[in-house]
Every structure is written in C-alpha cells, then in structure tokens.
C-alpha cells in the first residue's frame, strides 16, 4: 500500500533558529472552535457578559466583546510564558487567539553566531507550546504542524502586525483553509 508522503512546508535549507521575525499560524484539528466562549462566528458575544476579553490583539471593537474559553485562557497564559522559558531569546511580540487558530509574531534573538546544539527553533517553540497546552487540557486540540512566514523587512512586519490587529474584527470573513488545504 502506498502511503502519501507529507510534503514539508518549511523553507528548505533555512535555519529556523536564525535571528529574525516570523509570522506563525497554528490551527486546531478539524477547525474546531476551542478558544472562544462564543463559537458562532457570525454573532458577537454580548458586551454585557463576563469573561476574559483579551485575545492578544489590541484593536478596538466595542460591539464585539470576545470571551476566551478555558482552553483559550490556557493558550494565552502559555503564550505569555514563552519569553521566560527561553530567557528572552524568543519573544512573542504580537498574537491573537481566534476561535480555531492563533496568529503570532515570534522574534528570535539568540545573540550567537552560528547555530548551537540547543538554539531554539520555531519548530521547537511551537512543539513545546502545543505540548504544554495538550498536557494542561488532557487532549490535543491541534492540527499537525503549523504555517510560518519569515518576515523579511519592516513593511512585512507592519503588515502582519496589522493583520493580527484586525483579525478578530474580520472573523466573519475569515477563511483559514489556505493555511492547511484539505
């Protein structure tokens, strides 16, 4: 029986422990809505409800209060720990938690020339992050792998920052299928 070989989506030959900025998207398995209390993508949560409304992005959306679910809160807390786990060599400079995916800008600053055996890579960071969440909640909500883009200049950085800011307000039109086509 011929089993299809999964094609790598990482840039061939690129050192992902290299200093720089990366835009990363991590999706849930089967696009399940685990991270917001309100899982209906077309109706905002009432602004009078209670809960955690900080999804990471700081865009103003008074009519669309977003309440993180307990899993979403675990994701947010784990994202905040990443810089501490890597002694500041890895920083999440911007993130947003959507109902079925997260977007991050990850900045690596290893301050070393050349790769050492234990230099953190994007893959290692995401693997440990996913593992920590899986352990906390008792099951894996994650789709295999993740999508990344190496941010090459300040204009790209600003564009991804803006995309993260605007993503919750554009949730109704969001389509993450282009990240992991079926």
Residue 11 lies inside a defined structural domain of this protein: no
Q: Which domain holds residue 154?
A: 20-176
Q: What's the domain count of the chain?
A: 1
**Which CATH number goes with the domain that contains 143?**
3.30.70.1290
Residue 6 domain flag: no
How far apart CA 130 and CA 142 sit, in angstroms, is: 7
* CA–CA dist 103, 29 (Å, integer): 15
d(CA 68, CA 56): 11
Q: What is the pLDDT of residues 113-170, one digit of tens each?
A: 555 556 688 889 999 999 999 999 999 999 998 999 999 999 999 999 999 998 888 7
Is residue 170 domain-resident?
yes
Domain annotation covers residue 3: no
- Domain contains 66: yes
Q: Does residue 5 form part of some domain?
A: no
Q: Exposed, middle or buried by CB within 10 Å (0-12, 13-18, 19+), for 72? A: buried
Q: What is the pTM of this model?
A: 0.74
Does the residue 4 lie in any domain?
A: no
Average pLDDT over residues 12-34: 83
DSSP string, 72-123: HHHHHHHHHHHHHHTTTSEEEEEEEE-SSEEEEEEEE----SS--TT---HH
Confidence of residue 99 (pLDDT cuts 50, 70, 90): very high
pLDDT tens, residue by residue, 102-129? 999 999 987 655 555 566 888 899 999 9
> What are the distances in angstroms from CA 95 to CA 3, 24, 103, 132, 164?
36, 9, 5, 18, 7
**Does residue 114 lie in a domain region?**
yes
């Amino acid at each position: 029986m011929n089993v299809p070989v999964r094609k790598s989506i990482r840039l061939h030959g690129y050192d992902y422990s290299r200093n720089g900025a990366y835009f990363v998207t991590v999706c849930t398995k089967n696009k399940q809505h685990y991270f917001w209390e309100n899982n209906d993508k077309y109706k905002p949560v009432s602004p009078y409800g209670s809960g955690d409304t900080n999804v990471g992005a700081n865009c103003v959306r008074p009519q669309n209060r977003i309440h993180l679910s307990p899993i979403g809160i675990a994701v947010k807390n784990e994202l905040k720990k990443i810089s501490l786990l890597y002694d500041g060599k890895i920083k999440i400079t911007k993130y947003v938690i959507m109902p079925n995916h997260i977007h991050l800008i990850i900045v690596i600053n290893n301050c070393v020339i050349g790769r050492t055996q234990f230099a953190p890579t994007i893959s290692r960071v995401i693997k440990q992050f996913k593992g920590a969440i899986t352990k906390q909640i008792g099951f894996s909500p994650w789709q295999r792998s993740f999508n990344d883009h190496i941010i090459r200049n300040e204009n790209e950085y600003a564009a991804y920052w803006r995309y993260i800011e605007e993503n919750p307000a554009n949730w109704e039109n969001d389509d993450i299928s282009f990240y992991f086509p079926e």
